[in-house]
């Protein structure tokens, strides 16, 4: 049975042993997470623009009252089209680029637990059953999103259930979506609450990072936390038999 102290010690040791590369990979992972948020935001913005245009069409008398209103409607239409294009591009970038890079980052962090890993692992997914990794990661996020639409709590629970899918793909990129999600659920069964508490244990570091304008997060807290999360996967999948945790290169 794992403990928070053991995981954090293991994550910290791996992080410090390969300090600058781990900092870089953690920074890339943060950027990927941020870019995913931006693509969702652009989708929301396009939805708001559509609502405004629909409102104008619902009242044709006011929309056609003057030439200036016609011109406004024309430019609103162009703006809406641009927003839709941006949203679609954001989704495509997120699916085709961000998701495989996330798996590559998790592979680096996992390998780094045993020996200093190379940053090139971040690009590993593009040469390792790329399309399957994209599909599985997309379906994982879609499932979490669908549950979150019902209520916030079920979405959070599902996020913890599928927390290990990235690492499972980093070891076996041929896993199907059903098998990856099943294995993650099995490994997280009985461990979701403890994993949640593990996340809470980094709140102090996150607050300190905010107070230092992200500097503490960039150079210490983020790589420390990400390395600890990789150690959680290692502990749940392999227990004390850490020697078997090295995926084939």
- pLDDT band at residue 49 using 50, 70 and 90 as cut-offs: very low
pTM exceeding the 0.75 threshold for the entire prediction: yes
Q: What is the Cα–Cα distance from 239 to 12, expressed in whole angstroms? A: 18
- pLDDT band at residue 151 using 50, 70 and 90 as cut-offs: confident
Per-residue pLDDT tens over the stretch 126-136: 999 999 999 99
Burial of 117 per CB tally in 10 Å (0-12, 13-18, 19+): buried
Q: What is the Cα–Cα distance from 133 to 120, expressed in whole angstroms? A: 17
Tokens of 168: 């499972």
At residue 69, the pLDDT reads 55
Q: What are the residues whose beta carbons fall under 8 Å from the beta carbon of 238, sequence distance 6 or more? A: 244, 245
């Amino acid at each position: 049975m794992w403990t928070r102290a053991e995981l954090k010690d293991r994550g910290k040791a791996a992080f410090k042993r390969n300090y600058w590369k781990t900092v870089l990979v953690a920074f890339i992972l943060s950027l990927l997470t941020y870019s995913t948020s931006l693509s969702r935001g652009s989708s929301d913005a396009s939805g708001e623009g559509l609502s405004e245009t629909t409102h104008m069409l619902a009242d044709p008398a006011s929309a056609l009252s003057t030439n200036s209103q016609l011109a406004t409607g024309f430019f609103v239409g162009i703006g809406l089209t641009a927003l839709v294009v941006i949203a679609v591009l954001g989704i495509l970038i997120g699916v085709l680029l961000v998701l495989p890079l996330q798996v590559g980052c998790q592979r680096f962090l996992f390998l780094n637990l045993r020996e200093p890993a190379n940053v090139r692992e971040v690009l590993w997914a593009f040469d390792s059953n790329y399309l399957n990794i994209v599909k599985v990661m997309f379906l994982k996020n879609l499932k979490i999103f669908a549950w979150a639409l019902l209520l916030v709590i079920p979405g959070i629970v599902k996020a913890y259930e599928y927390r290990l899918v990235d690492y499972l793909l980093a070891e076996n990129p041929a896993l199907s979506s059903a098998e990856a999600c099943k294995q993650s659920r099995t490994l997280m069964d009985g461990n979701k609450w403890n994993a949640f508490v593990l996340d809470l244990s980094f709140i102090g570091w996150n607050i300190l990072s905010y107070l230092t304008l992200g500097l503490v997060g960039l150079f210490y807290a983020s790589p420390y936390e990400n390395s600890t999360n990789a150690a959680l996967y290692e502990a749940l999948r392999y227990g004390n038999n850490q020697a078997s945790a090295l995926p084939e290169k």
